[in-house]
Amino acid sequence: MQRVLLIVLLWLGATGVAGAQAPTDDPAAADPPSVSDALADLKSRDFDIKGAAIETIARSGHERAEALLQALLDRGLVHDRAHDRIALGEQADGGWALTDPLTGDSLGQVDARAARPVIINNRLREQIRNLQAVAALSNPDSGRRRQAVQRLIGSADPTVIQALRERQAKEDNTAVADAIDTALSIAVLRDPDSDLHARLAAIDAVAGSLEPAVKNVLRDRATQTDAAAERNAAEKALKAIDARTARYETADTIFFGLSLGSVLLLAAIGLAITFGVMGVINMAHGELIMLGAYTTYVVQQIFPQGHEWSLLIAIPAAFLVSALVGIVIERCVIRFLYGRPLETLLATFGVSLILQQAVRLIFSPLNRSVVTPDWMSGALQINPVFSLTYNRLYIIFFALAVFLTLLTVLKKTRLGLQVRAVSQNRITARAMGIRSERVNALTFGLGSGIAGIAGVALAQLTNVGPNLGQAYIIDSFMVVVFGGVGNLWGTLTAAFGLGIANKFIEPLAGAVLAKIMVLVFIILFIQRKPRGLFPQRGRAAEDS
Amino acid sequence: MRHSDFKTALTDHAAKLFLGVLFGAVIIVALLNLLVPADSALHVSSYTVTLLGKYLCYALLALALDLVWGYCGILSLGHGAFFALGGYAMGMYLMRQIGDRGVYGNPELPDFMVFLNWDQLPWYWHGFDHFGFALLMVGLVPGVLAFVFGWLAFRSRVTGVYLSIITQALTYALMLAFFRNELGFGGNNGLTDFKDILGFSLQADGTRVALLLASALALGGAFVLCRWITGTRLGRTVMAVRDAESRARFLGYRTEHYKLWVFTLSAVLAGIAGALYVPQVGIINPGEFSPLNSIELVVWVAVGGRATLYGAVIGAILVNYGKTVFTGVMPEAWLFALGGLFVAVTVFLPQGLVGLAKNLARKKKTEKDEEAHHEPA
């Protein structure tokens, strides 16, 4: 009901106001008999009669006209058979609560079978929506106006064209004005009676537009026209549109690549610390990501009403859960295995099996889904062929924020200094008074905690299940190895590089083949540069 | 000091014991299955025969891994890929043997190709009607893959963890590829529904026992071969590469050649294991390429004990027996047990069960020696 717009006002040429205020000052509007006649027509079974009635109601300028049309769309306009009249009906207590369509007075309650909603078909629905869009052309909100124009593009209805022309004259928002121009140009091109010059001008006007309707009409003109000038113009315009579309499609692919890259970055960056800085191959890393995802799920279960903000609790909670589990793993298993990287691989793989099975027992093997908050759904529509979905956009920023935070921790804090010292030369670091045992535990905790945060982000993109971690572990290792062990910037470059490469190959070869090609590429790349893109230099690199 | 001639490898104490136990057990099982009537308490069911045959294939696979990991220090996390490739080669032969007995009754094409609306056999399926050709491929395909992969990797001195990770990537990539229907290996379902091998029905008890014997022969042969190799000059060099690769290289050995040699041989053995495995379990699918399988294989060897050969065999049989028991009694506990095994073995038993036994024996001996020393003093 809130979406009802002032049809009335448009047809009077008045400027839009909020729905409750009715135009009582114009004598032409006050024509209730025609509305009641039209309402009576809605009882007919003939859709043409109903269509005419809808038109009449829309043009009546009656203060309740738009409410009636919306009610018609929502199946809220009913035929009260006992009194043979049309009324607004609301389902209540197994029956209908009726109100008078014109005055809004209550007409009492009738049995469910005593009244039936007025049936409309798709054509009428389309007609009502168009009428509503026409009304919305004078909405004070320019975004709504633009939406309305977008809806009307391609319509050949003379009244619609007339309404667009009227709006064009006084539109001051350029985006809306451009959209109206496009709509009118298409109308000219669709009009069989328009003359060649008008059509050439119209083709010229729509040449830059990415609307699908523009492409369709130009394609039609290019094949149907007899005039060579028009055919050439249309073909040229089509070519320009194709080129522009291709550019935006490339941008779209890059965006998807960046978003995949940021997921890889989040998954791999914790590994870059445990593997790169500590030399520990943590095969349980994927399961720490999974724990983060499950933490998100649990936090949402605890605050069932808090979908909008529970993520903000989930991020630190996931960090803590995964970090604690990580520290336990380090204290109980890994500390016995320093300097034997292949054995940390086996032991942590065992840990990963245990964690997976534990989660399967606690949360069942079925996937759980996490509710995405409203501010993360939807998309930023840049133009008809290019939009950025908010969840991916946020994850890109989130990944970069995590990366920069981690970089700061490692470069600027005391812990970071100690971590780097221990990773470069454990014995000297100990001699300088650094408690390497504590540093190891904290570093491993930090890497694991970041895996947990990655889990929060992944929970927004995929289902949360016991196998979540496994799906990412090999990719994460590839990213770290490709980027160069011990180099966070290398990890960043590798993650985004592989993400974008993957998305560019995908349309050519399919998702699975793209993945295989990337894997084979990395295998071959490692042959050429066994230490990755950015190898670690100095004494530490020679040890292994 | 071990001698390097083949005869010693066959006749020294450990080899005799190993081969004796292996063939003794297999022959007893075979006789109990074929000759003892089904209602007797001593009868061994065909299910057990096949299960044992499966274990022996796993043992052969573990032996192959022990050769590269235990003796050459290459931790391959992709040996399951060679096993699966050998299995697919055998599976292709078995598929061709089905002939027109498939569900669609097409004499030219396997069922899954008919299902995919293919009208002719892909070129790489030609030749698999012949057992000899299939056997050749069983060794050749894994061998060539390992040779090319190893040649690239060892030449550029990819070692340690990096090598482990790219071998894992190799098997992962192959798994993804074999999951695709377009590749022509049955996609998700793999190759199955086999009928007979060399004209003998795969369901017959005799065939099953024969396959068990073949597995035992392959395992025994591979064991002797590996023992012989590790005793030769080449084996010694390989171990030197494992212990100090740079030093071996500085002494003038082309370490990458030695590694490549051992890696390729090991891949061929893994392929043979796969080829024996497939007719016994009756299916091969891309799941065999899963990185999990390859890592599990590493744990068999670790449990048994590295660089002993028989340790790998013991480990493979014990862990798989445990798996059979566990998954039957309490399936949800198996992953806990396997995970715990990984941790316990790496932390507490770096030399595996064989190492533990040796340590205990040594301790006993030193205690005895000490007692002997103490008494006169």
Note the pLDDT tens digit of each residue in B281-296: 999 999 999 998 999 9
pLDDT of residue A25: 44
| pLDDT beneath 70, residues of chain A | 1-33, 536-544
pLDDT in tens, A366-409: 888 888 888 888 888 777 778 888 888 999 999 999 999 999 99
Measured over all CA atoms, what is the biggest interatomic distance in chain B, rounded to whole angstroms? Answer: 89
In chain B, residues with a C-beta closer than 8 Å to the C-beta of A344 are 346
Alpha carbon of residue B372 to chain centroid: 45
Write out the H or E segment, with its range, that includes residue B225.
Answer: helix B205-231
Tell me which residue in A283, A354, A523 faces B340 most closely, judged by beta carbons. Answer: A354
Which residue has 């301790």 as its token pair? Answer: B363
Q: Which of B149, B151, B162, B351 to mutate to test the interface with A (most CBs of A within 10 A)?
A: B162
User: Considering CB atoms only, which of A345, A354, A528 is closest to B336?
Assistant: A354
Q: Which residues of A touch B158 (CB under 8 A)?
A: 526-527, 530
Q: Looking at residue B125, what is its pLDDT?
A: 93
What digits encode the pLDDT tens for the residues A475-520?
888 898 888 877 889 999 999 999 999 999 988 888 888 888 988 8
* Residues of A within an 8 Å Cβ radius of B: 281, 283, 333, 336-337, 341-347, 349-354, 356-358, 360-361, 470, 474, 477-478, 481, 512-513, 515-516, 519-520, 522-524, 526-528, 530, 544
Q: Among candidates A452, A530, A491, A145, which has minimal Cα distance to A289? A: A452
Q: What does the pLDDT average to over B185-192?
A: 90
Record: contact B156-A519, CB cut-off 8 A: no
DSSP B282: S
- Residue B82 pLDDT greater than 90, yes or no: yes
pLDDT at position A191, please? 76
CA atoms within 13 A on the CB side of A540: 21
Q: Which residues lie below 8 Å from residue A152, measured CB to CB, with a gap of 6+?
A: A130, A133, A134, A137, A160, A164, A183
- The pTM score is 0.78
Mean pLDDT of B4-21: 77
Give the integer Cα–Cα distance in Å for B278 and B288. Answer: 11
d(CA A65, CA A164): 21
Q: What's the CA gap between A253 and A392, in Å, rounded? A: 13
The chain A residue lying nearest B290, using CA atoms, is A470
Chain B interface test: which of A361, A526, A542 (most B C-beta within 10 Å): A526
pLDDT at position B377 is: 44
Beta strands in A5-153 (DSSP E): 77-80, 85-92, 95-99, 106-111, 115-117
Q: Is the pLDDT of residue B26 over 70?
A: yes
Map tokens 């995919």 to a residue: B116
Taking 3-state DSSP, the helix, strand and coil percentages for chain A, each rounded to the nearest 5, stand at 70, 5, 25
Q: Which residues of chain A does B342 touch, with a Cβ-Cβ cutoff of 8 Å?
A: 346-347, 349-351, 353
Judging contacts by C-beta atoms under 8 Å, the chain A residues touching residue B172 are 474, 519
Q: Between chains, do A519 and B172 touch, taking CB under 8 Å as contact?
A: yes
Higher pLDDT, B221 or A192: B221
Mean of pLDDT over chain B? 90
pLDDT of residue A19: 39
Q: What's the CA gap between B347 and B80, in Å, rounded?
A: 25
With a cut of 80, say whether residue B10 has pLDDT above it: no
Residue range B207-225: average pLDDT? 95
A–B CB contacts, 8 A cutoff, strictly below: 119
Domains of chain B by residue range:
6-374
- φ, ψ for residue B44 (rounded to 5)? -105, 125
Of A125-139, B159-173, B268-282, B335-349, minimum mean pLDDT range? A125-139
* Nearest residue in B to A510, CA atom: B180
Question: Is B16 in the A-facing interface, judged by CB distances under 8 Å?
Answer: no
Backbone φ and ψ for B75, nearest 5 degrees, come out as: -85, 100
Q: How far is CA B8 from the centre of its chain?
A: 24
Residue at token pair 């715990």: B340
- The DSSP bridge pattern shows strands B191-192 and A95-99 to be unpaired
Distance CA A73, CA A87 (A): 14
Phi/psi for A106 (5° steps) reads -70, 140
* pLDDT of res. A488: 87
* Alpha-helical regions (H) of A61-121: 65-73
